[in-house]
Amino acid sequence: MVADLASGFDRPGGSWLRRQVFWGWVTGFTRTVAGVAGLALCMAGGLPLAVSAGEGLGLAAQRRGMVEAIEEMVAETRMEIGKDRLDPQVMAIMAKVPRHEFVPEDVRASAYLNRPLPIGYGQTISQPYIVALMSDLLAIGPEDTVLEVGTGSGYQAAVLSGLVKDVYSMEIIEPLGRQAKARLERLGYANVETRVGDGYYGWAAHAPFDGIIVTAAASHVPPPLVRQLKPGGRMVIPVGSRFFTQYLMLVEKQSDGSVKTRQIMPVRFVPLTGEH
């Protein structure tokens, strides 16, 4: 998989879903989504309607194709991630959140490809596989409160919104933060609160958190975030530099306040910026 990351070119062979290596910002390999299946799904449990009456079956079918591509990639990476499948609830949410609403008009046709896409200001919406994997690794439940660092488009926050009680999300680039806030409000994600600011320092007013997800690569695990994690809580964060290998890390805070870390897999994220 690391070789895939480094090659940067399409890889020959594979199934009818053409294997495609993506030298992108998030993770280094994707599968082109060509398969379409499934039916329109309605959101349950008081969540916003992901498939509105006007959306039609096409987008829901594309989302099913995206979910299948995620499942295939999970199977390919099972040795690294230590499991054959992700939490069914995470996968169900992935099939419902309208990713096309979170990407700019000019890349909307690619919204359901399993790949990161540009969202402006040099930033990206993460690859769906990575969004699903990071959500799964948090091991969160319906009563939990989660902090996201790196709101970007708001897509990851929308996914988390369907899994937990409250989501707090911080974005350092002001226009992106403003746009994401408006988008999340328009789409009805009422349990997501956003703020513009440097997420390295967390959001103390709402701490401690059951889970913290950082969607930009840090050079180290930020100590303020460890402090804002509940004992028993988990943080998922890419760690590494812009030019060298980054690893997706799972940080688990023990009941005595110490932390256990586990390297999950090599990834490629935009950097965590700010003055620290």
Residues at the site binding ligand SAM, with contacts judged by CB under 6 A: 123-126, 149-150, 152-153, 155-156, 170-173, 176, 198-200, 215-216, 269-270, 272-274
**The total number of residues written for the chain in this structure:** 276
- The answer to whether the peptide bond before residue 98 is cis (omega within 30 degrees of 0) is no
State the DSSP code for 51.
Answer: S
Is the Cβ of residue 168 or residue 269 nearer to ligand SAM in the bound state? Answer: 269
Least spacing, CB of residue 53 vs ligand SAM, in Å: 26
Is the Cβ of residue 123 or residue 161 nearer to ligand SAM in the bound state? Answer: 123
Is the Cβ of residue 120 or residue 141 nearer to ligand SAM in the bound state? Answer: 120
255 is catalytic: no
Sign for the CA dihedral angle at 141, 179, 188, 193 comes to positive
- Picking from 193, 189, 194, 191, the residue whose alpha carbon sits closest to that of residue 48 is 189
Q: Strand pairing of 209-214 and 229-239?
A: parallel
Separation of alpha carbons 56 and 185, rounded Å: 22
Least spacing, CB of residue 227 vs ligand SAM, in Å: 16
Element (H, E) at 148: strand 145-149
Is the Cβ of residue 35 or residue 150 nearer to ligand SAM in the bound state? Answer: 150
Reduced to 3 states (helix: H, G, I; strand: E, B; else coil), residue 143 is coil
Which residue is catalytic, options 7, 52, 126, 258?
Answer: 126
Least spacing, CB of residue 131 vs ligand SAM, in Å: 7
Least spacing, CB of residue 189 vs ligand SAM, in Å: 12
Separation of alpha carbons 246 and 26, rounded Å: 10
Residues classed as catalytic: 126
